[in-house]
Structure 1
Amino acid sequence: MIDADRLKKNWSLVAAHGNQVPLYFYSTLFLTHPETRDLFPMNMAAQRDKLVTALGAVVSNVDTIDAVVPTLQALGRDHRKFGALRGHYPAVGEALLATLEHFSGPHWTPAIAADWTAAYELVAATMADAADAAAHYTPSWWDAEVVAHDRRDLETAVITIDPGTRLDYLAGQSVSLCTSLRPRAWRQYSPANAPRTDGTIELHVRAVDGGEVSTALVSLLRPGDTLRVGPATGTALTLRPGSGRIAMIAGGTGVAPMKALIEQVAAAPRPTSLYWGARSPAGLYCLDQMRALAAHCDWLEVVPCVDEDLFGAGARVGAPADLAVAHGRCSGADVYLCGPAGMVEASRKHLAGAGVPPEAIHFEPSGA
């Protein structure tokens, strides 16, 4: 039987070594199994700690593994886009065990090694089984043509892609993208539309500092180019059933999944308020479109929010969550949050402090 408490304590000990852990892990993996190098982007800066941190966190919490089986299955299906095969999992496991042993030092014991091995094998089997099953009914990825690229400002573009066939997803989910401009570097984006009959997908992309993929998508991508698209993942922001009020709180391009949810709600209208924030009115890059949508839907309210409105653009001054609470829009509502990680966390705390029940607050955890 796996001792989950022992694994958690051991992982805390290892994780205390910080960036040394992923550096050792990848060095070990690539030296002992060089064929795995092609599964990862050329620039490892963004990738550096993601895999090993996720592995350690998930495997060490093996006592709650049943609760995350759906997530592990989704990860297994999604990882096919990297070219990950069942045969790669043992290589990753060996590198993980070597890393754990190295940083555990004298605390490493045969019992801990056996626990880690059993826990990893359980996680790996769950992911690999899901990937093998998915191979029978869905592609590993879709090659989608860029049919429109609308540069809204220096940092933001609205991109429309056509996968050529309908890609199954729910409003509020995310899809991962890879461009030949930045090979093997995948990033998550939420479609800004509910599924369409023609299969096209609208994406809102903001170039972030140091973001090689987002910068390429905004500045270098052109109509006619091709993007590789991975399967849809995540359910944190998908619409909950019911007929009650909905409050949406978004920052920047976090409005994209909200727009998709609004399109879904239109099929069975519910009172819905969107509080969308940016530093200035210029950051509300599709405000005219959202206002036009509200003008045609008597159940929809759109409230633009800014840090300062120097030119009288008609936006409310203040944080979206603060204003939504002050206006009474969150009381008794399902609340959906999306935006920069800091904004989401601050909004979540403000909502909780205002008495909004935790189960009514829906957001994608940072790093998910």
Structure 2
Amino acid sequence: MTTTSADNGIPAGDNGNGGDWGWFGPGTRHPEPDASTQPSAPSAPTAQTGPSAEPSPDALLIRRTMAEIEPVADAVTAYFYALLFVQQPQLRDLFPAAMDTQRDRLFKALLTAAQHVDNAEVLTEYLSGLGRGHRKYGTRPEHYPIVGECLISALTRYAHHSWSPQTEAAWVRAYTAISQIMIDAAAEDERRAPAWWQAEIVRHEPRTRDIAIITVRPDQPYPFLAGQYTSIETPWWPRVWRHYSFATAPRPDGLLTFHVKAVPAGWVSSALVNRARPGDVVRLGPPTGSMTLDHQTDNGLLCLGGGTGIAPIKALIEDVAAHSESSRARLVDVFYGARRDEDLYDLETMLRLGQRHPWLSVRPVVADGCPIRAAGLTGQLPDAVRQSGRWTAYDGYVSGPPGLIRSGVDALQGVGIPSHRIRHDSLEELAAAGD
């Protein structure tokens, strides 16, 4: 969705609905809230006992609001940001030049979090990552109450039928919980890590007309796990961050490698592929993502990598090798897919890994034509997996464009891997990853 920021005539300090929001959202970290400073409404929602538990009254009210505003989501988003920038024009600096994408993601994240109001575990995991990641934009605790006021005002304006004092109170409780989790996560992260890392490009290797493999040296230790991803900002587009997966497991020399494909009108990806050179300095956000290995199991790995999605798969292979004993290595089967044979830009590297590790099998899959450089399969990647048999003793990993994630997960479930043993990148982050 796209947004605009027009003057809506609401004076600064007025949230548009006449309410007093002086207490809205925490401004500092307070693990044990003082009851005298909190509203008399019930405390923030907690998790239900299980997936079959009945939704709480707050969850029902929030879902009704979500259902009503869905058809007018663009208008709600536009009003939210217009109000935010009228009241607090200095907050414009927190948003990148490519504002539409970042705005939509922030507003969507708030609504997504509110939908999980009954699941404290999911809510905490999701929001903690957001709270840590927002540090790189310069987000401070005092910004959260302002955002909360504008969120409620936008919902009040557009949820004509479902809005009531009870609904407003439910959203206030939800946002208070949301903002506190994010503030706490950011405060904890600030004690142990910088908001971003400076990283010098030490190697820039074009592989195709629009794909480059880029290696950087961070200015200080950068802890991460194989299978995770980070956000990158280039010097040519300040405050524009895009997500890229690590293409290796952690290395003794501390170097980090990324596979980047330039996409049409992609600000960051085009700059990294076509403009960046050794000696240029980029900034890295904190690592995130849960597509990591469980080293407590001996299950094999069935991995689907499409396009540059092979990068984190390659990192996982290195991680398996580092944790494997020659007498008891986990089996790893990789289906590496692309549209054309020439798009399998890292196939030789993957085949060399297969020759080095007897527990690794690499199968190229080409949608148009036939793989020329290695005996492979023809057709769509998910179809190739479905035709390969049953994989019930394996854990599934999928990396690539959002469409491949969705169809790949279905294919893995179809060959016998239960959903709780399938890992993949966040679809929301992937939506903007290639830009």
Name the TM-score class by shorter chain.
Answer: over 0.9
**Superposition map of 1:278-293 within 5 A:** 278-293=338-353
Whether 1:68 aligns to 2:137 is no
What is the deviation of 1:311? 7.4
Whether 1:30 aligns to 2:90 is no
- Range with greater deviation from structure 2 (351-360 or 8-17): 351-360
- Distance in 2, matches of 1:224 and 1:111, equals 57
- Distance in 1, matches of 2:179 and 2:95, equals 18
What is the deviation of 1:339? 0.6
Q: Check the 8 A contact 1:8/1:61 in 2, yes or no.
A: no
Tell me the C-alpha RMSD between the 2 structures. 1.6
Whether 1:312 aligns to 2:372 is yes
Aligned to 1:244: 299
AA aligned opposite 1:324:
V
AA aligned opposite 1:144:
A
Unaligned runs of 5+ in 2: 1-41, 46-57, 430-435
Q: Check the 8 A contact 2:289/2:426 in 1, yes or no.
A: no
SS of aligned partner of 2:121: helix
AA aligned opposite 1:82:
Y
Q: How does the TM-score come out when normalised to structure 1?
A: 0.95
Aligned to 2:111: 56
- Distance in 2, matches of 1:45 and 1:52, equals 11
Q: Check the 8 A contact 1:324/1:330 in 2, yes or no.
A: no
- Distance in 1, matches of 2:85 and 2:119, equals 31
| Structure label with greater radius of gyration | 2
AA aligned opposite 1:239:
L
Identical aligned pairs, as a percentage? 39
What is the deviation of 1:53? 1.3
Whether 1:86 aligns to 2:141 is yes
- Distance in 2, matches of 1:151 and 1:329, equals 38
- Distance in 2, matches of 1:123 and 1:151, equals 42
- Distance in 1, matches of 2:364 and 2:294, equals 24
Deviation track 1:169-198 (CA, whole Å, cap 9, x = no partner) reads 110111111112111111111100001111
AA aligned opposite 1:92:
V
SS of aligned partner of 2:396: strand
Q: Check the 8 A contact 2:144/2:179 in 1, yes or no.
A: yes
| Count of residues paired in the alignment | 367
Aligned to 1:219: 274
Q: Structure 2 vs 1, CA of residues 111 and 148 (structure 1 numbering), >3 Å: closer, same or farther?
A: same
AA aligned opposite 1:285:
Y
Q: Check the 8 A contact 2:390/2:415 in 1, yes or no.
A: no
AA aligned opposite 1:327:
S
AA aligned opposite 2:244:
Y
Aligned to 2:26: none
- Distance in 1, matches of 2:243 and 2:76, equals 25
Q: Check the 8 A contact 2:307/2:344 in 1, yes or no.
A: yes
Q: How does the TM-score come out when normalised to structure 2?
A: 0.81
Unaligned runs of 5+ in 1: none
Whether 1:188 aligns to 2:243 is yes
What is the deviation of 1:73? 1.7
Aligned to 1:17: 72
Q: Structure 2 vs 1, CA of residues 70 and 347 (structure 1 numbering), >3 Å: closer, same or farther?
A: closer
Q: Structure 2 vs 1, CA of residues 156 and 86 (structure 1 numbering), >3 Å: closer, same or farther?
A: same
